[in-house]
Structure 1
Amino acid sequence: MAQTQFADHRQAALALLSGNYKLTLKAGQFLGQLAIVASPLSVAQADWLAKLLNKHGLPSLARQEGL
């Protein structure tokens, strides 16, 4: 079954934070910020989030916000 992409970065960040994934303190802080801030992601933020989602086998974002 294909995984549905995340509609926005906040949902993706919450999925990583609420799952049983091994995250560094830095990654946890980054994801916590993304979960509460609705502003568009920078290119660097979008890249890091995409890498974290891929690393943990989660679907990607449906669209690249603000890019």
Structure 2
Amino acid sequence: MTDCPFPDHRTAALALLNGDHRLSRKAGQFLGQLAVDPAPLSPAQENWLAKLLVRASLPILVVEGGQ
């Protein structure tokens, strides 16, 4: 996997779902929703996704407006 940040939440969610990462059922449902819903993330959703990415040793997510 590359160290480049993910360009959007959909790509990040799909990387987590398609990788060999341990996920709870709740996390899987959350990521499935992110993969199909283009709506912007709430701060709480951004935080949870960031935690899942860190836990899986994946790159960060680039948040719109610059991070």
Structure 1's consecutive aligned runs of 4 or more residues displaced over 4 angstroms after TM superposition are none
Deviation of 1:63 after TM superposition, in Å, equals: 1.9
CA distance in 2, matches of 1:3, 1:20: 17
Q: CA deviation at 1:50?
A: 0.2
Percent identity over the alignment? Answer: 56
Secondary structure of the residue aligned to 2:57 is coil
Is the counterpart of residue 18 in structure 1 residue 12 in structure 2? no
- Give the Cα separation in 1 of the matches to 2:20 and 2:59: 16
Residue pairs, 1:3-42, within 5 angstroms: 3-42=3-42
Counterpart residue number, 1:63: 63
Give the superposed CA RMSD.
Answer: 1.4
Which amino acid is 1:18 matched to? N
Alignment coverage as a number of residue pairs: 64
Length-normalised TM-score, structure 2: 0.90
User: SS at 1:23's partner residue?
Assistant: coil
Structure 1: gaps of 5 or more residues: none
